């Protein structure tokens, strides 16, 4: 076979290279570090962890990150094999010795007979003679390549910052307090006039909330990030600092909304939640992008009436992050619609986190290898963590129906809100259990989703796949 070119030797690119090579196809891996650095990386090692040394929960029975770990292990992941080998104690989390981990990945890639590493910056889109290529250049993609991607995908399809509003699980919102309604009952394309969940506040609640926002602990920007405030994207706490009334005239305005539980009393302020995935299991807090620390966010946002028991699929943030509008520009196999043979992988596709980036790298590598070998490309079932994450990236996400043209695709960690729901009737009270409360049901739901995912992933891979992959030296 002629080689597949992979640009970027981070978490995604290293995993993609490994998967392609393990499928028997040669790889040329182009990594610029060694020639040119990034603002966050400190070494020339492949798969360097730029911040925390944690791969998060390793619980495959009821945690979505643990499930994707397990699926990656089943698929013979290099990243997981090296992480397991370099594990350091961290309770239920999988944390690693960061240097040992990067050294292990670098050594495995260097030793693979089908992988050649070239230390160079790729400054434009791959030349046409690289008929199959994967761009896995991450959140800090070098500026010249970013410019080339932008000119290929269109100006609005490449973002340089995340402005992330928190996302809550719909089932944890208290609908005895909140109600469904679009402002002025407006029916947009595909809408019903009841597209938002509304959380009402009285004057005292609003004042206490503003005070808490202003007093909350925030995370500063790194010097190289600059301060990416622009119109319509101010952090919620910065808006609160600008004046007590600012939020009430901005994202928390109560106009055009009537409390279905109390129609005669006008809310003083309203927090709106907008559906965030096609399944309707996740809702984002409209206009609530924030630099508050995670601990402060959960505490302060649970002050909002109706969100007192809210569970967050993702908390808010504002970061430097280069990523494409994948649902618009990629097909279901991570290929750029405008350039057959050119795939994207890792954080640049709009997933978030080390593990998710490596998982998308794993899928891109497998898809590219299958294409090179002339085999059918079979994406993972939507019930798996792989399939759920891929669905978020390549089109499972809603496009905002009331603000045409405004990008609504935001990077996302893997979470159970991305998985399709269970068959009705799946959750049944175990025999002999006296009290079976909401919390018990939620745990059972996660357990059933996790078991379904692993079983479907094993079927997708087939009986020989994982063992064939794992027989490489990385797993030994």
Q: Choose between 141 and 181: whose C-beta lies nearer to ligand FAD.
A: 141
User: Which residue from 293, 300, 274 is spatially nearest to 206, judged by alpha carbons?
Assistant: 300
Contact 8, 344 (CB under 8 A): no
Is 411 among the residues that bind ligand FAD (CB under 6 A)?
A: no
What phi and psi, each to the nearest 5 degrees, are found at residue 347? -60, -25
Q: Choose between 145 and 213: whose C-beta lies nearer to ligand FAD.
A: 145
Is 76 among the residues that bind ligand FAD (CB under 6 A)?
A: no
Is 122 among the residues that bind ligand FAD (CB under 6 A)?
A: yes
199, β-bridge pairs: 271
Question: By CB under 6 A, which span of 33-41, 70-78, 88-96, 303-311 interacts with ligand FAD?
Answer: 33-41
Q: Choose between 11 and 271: whose C-beta lies nearer to ligand FAD.
A: 11
Spell out the SS3 assignment of 162-211: EEECCEEEHHHCCCCCCEECCHHHCCCCCCCCCCEEEEEECHHHHHHHHH
Q: Please compute Rg for the chain using Cα positions.
A: 23
Contact 181, 256 (CB under 8 A): no
Question: At which residue do the structure tokens 């402060």 appear?
Answer: 296
Is 417 among the residues that bind ligand FAD (CB under 6 A)?
A: no
Q: How far is the CB of 72 from ligand FAD (least distance, A)?
A: 14
User: Which residue from 256, 260, 222 is spatially nearest to 140, judged by alpha carbons?
Assistant: 222
User: Which residue from 368, 398, 363 is spatially nearest to 379, judged by alpha carbons?
Assistant: 363
Q: Tokens for 150, please give them.
A: 């932008």
CA distance 74 to 123: 35
Is 51 among the residues that bind ligand FAD (CB under 6 A)?
A: yes
Is 31 among the residues that bind ligand FAD (CB under 6 A)?
A: yes
With CB atoms as reference, the residue minimizing the distance to ligand FAD is: 10
Q: Which of 200, 346, 350, 466 binds ligand FAD (CB under 6 A)?
A: 346
Q: Which of 29, 67, 145, 247 binds ligand FAD (CB under 6 A)?
A: 145
Question: By CB under 6 A, which span of 81-89, 188-196, 271-279, 351-359 interacts with ligand FAD?
Answer: 351-359
Q: Which of 32, 96, 125, 201 binds ligand FAD (CB under 6 A)?
A: 32
Is 347 among the residues that bind ligand FAD (CB under 6 A)?
A: yes
CA angle in degrees (0–180, nearest 5) for 351-346-290: 35
Contact 419, 360 (CB under 8 A): no
Q: How far is the CB of 164 from ligand FAD (least distance, A)?
A: 12
Contact 281, 421 (CB under 8 A): yes
Q: Choose between 161 and 196: whose C-beta lies nearer to ligand FAD.
A: 161
Q: Choose between 94 and 348: whose C-beta lies nearer to ligand FAD.
A: 348
Is 151 among the residues that bind ligand FAD (CB under 6 A)?
A: no
Is 11 among the residues that bind ligand FAD (CB under 6 A)?
A: yes
Q: Which of 4, 5, 8, 350 binds ligand FAD (CB under 6 A)?
A: 8
Contact 159, 406 (CB under 8 A): no
Q: Tokens for 468, please give them.
A: 């064939």
Q: How far is the CB of 400 from ligand FAD (least distance, A)?
A: 25
Helices H / strands E in the chain, number of each: 13, 16
Q: How far is the CB of 357 from ligand FAD (least distance, A)?
A: 3
Euclidean distance between the first and final Cα of the chain, in Å?
A: 27
User: Which residue from 308, 304, 312, 307 is spatially nearest to 208, judged by alpha carbons?
Assistant: 304
Subset of 201-260 contacting ligand FAD (CB under 6 A): none
Question: By CB under 6 A, which span of 72-80, 290-298, 346-354, 451-459 interacts with ligand FAD?
Answer: 346-354
Angle between helices 98-111 and 11-22 (to 10 degrees): 30
Subset of 357-376 contacting ligand FAD (CB under 6 A): 357
Q: Choose between 121 and 241: whose C-beta lies nearer to ligand FAD.
A: 121
Q: Choose between 13 and 287: whose C-beta lies nearer to ligand FAD.
A: 13
Is 38 among the residues that bind ligand FAD (CB under 6 A)?
A: yes
> Which residues of the chain form contacts with ligand FAD (CB under 6 A)?
7-13, 30-33, 38, 40-41, 50-52, 121-122, 136-142, 145, 346-348, 353-354, 357
């Amino acid at each position: 076979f002629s080689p597949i070119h992979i640009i970027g030797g981070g978490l995604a690119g290293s995993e993609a290279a490994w998967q392609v090579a393990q499928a028997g196809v040669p790889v040329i891996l182009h990594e610029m570090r060694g020639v040119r650095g990034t603002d966050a990386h400190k070494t020339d090692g492949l798969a360097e962890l730029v911040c925390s040394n944690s791969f998060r929960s390793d619980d495959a029975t009821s945690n979505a990150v643990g499930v994707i770990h397990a699926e990656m292990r089943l698929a013979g992941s290099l990243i997981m094999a090296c992480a397991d080998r370099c594990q350091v104690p961290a309770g239920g989390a999988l944390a690693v010795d960061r240097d040992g981990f990067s050294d292990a990945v670098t050594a495995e890639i260097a030793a693979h007979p089908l992988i050649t590493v070239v230390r160079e910056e790729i400054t434009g889109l791959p030349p046409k003679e690289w008929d199959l290529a994967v761009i896995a250049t991450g959140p800090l993609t070098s500026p010249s390549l970013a410019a080339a991607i932008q000119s290929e995908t269109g100006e609005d399809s490449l973002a340089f910052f995340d402005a992330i509003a928190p996302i809550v699980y719909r089932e944890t919102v208290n609908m005895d307090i909140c109600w469904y309604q679009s402002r002025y009952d407006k029916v947009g394309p595909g809408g019903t006039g009841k597209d938002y969940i509304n959380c009402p506040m009285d004057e005292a609640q609003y004042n206490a909330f503003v005070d808490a926002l202003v007093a909350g602990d925030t995370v500063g920007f790194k010097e190289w990030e600059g301060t990416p405030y622009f119109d319509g994207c101010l952090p919620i706490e910065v808006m609160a600092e600008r004046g007590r009334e600012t939020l009430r005239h901005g994202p928390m305005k109560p106009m055009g909304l009537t409390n279905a539980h109390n129609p005669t009393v006008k809310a003083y302020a309203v927090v709106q939640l907008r559906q965030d995935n096609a399944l309707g299991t996740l809702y984002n807090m409209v206009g609530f992008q924030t630099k508050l620390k995670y601990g402060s966010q959960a505490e302060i946002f649970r002050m909002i009436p109706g969100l007192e028991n809210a569970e967050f699929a993702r908390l808010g943030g504002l970061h430097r992050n280069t990523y494409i509008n994948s649902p618009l520009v990629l097909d279901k196999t991570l290929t750029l619609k405008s350039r057959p043979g050119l795939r994207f992988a890792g954080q640049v596709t709009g997933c978030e986190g080390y593990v998710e980036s490596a998982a998308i790298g794993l899928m891109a590598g497998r898809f590219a290898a299958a294409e090179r070998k002339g085999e059918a490309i079979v994406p993972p079932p939507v019930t798996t963590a792989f399939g759920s994450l891929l669905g978020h990236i390549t089109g499972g996400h809603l496009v905002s129906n009331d603000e045409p043209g405004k990008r609504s695709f935001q990077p996302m960690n893997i979470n159970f809100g991305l998985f399709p729901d269970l068959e009705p009737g799946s959750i049944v009270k175990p025999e002999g259990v006296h009290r079976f409360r909401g919390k018990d049901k939620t745990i059972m739901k996660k357990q059933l989703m996790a078991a379904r995912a692993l079983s479907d992933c094993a079927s997708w891979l087939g009986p020989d796949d994982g063992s064939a992959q794992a027989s490489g030296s990385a797993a030994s």
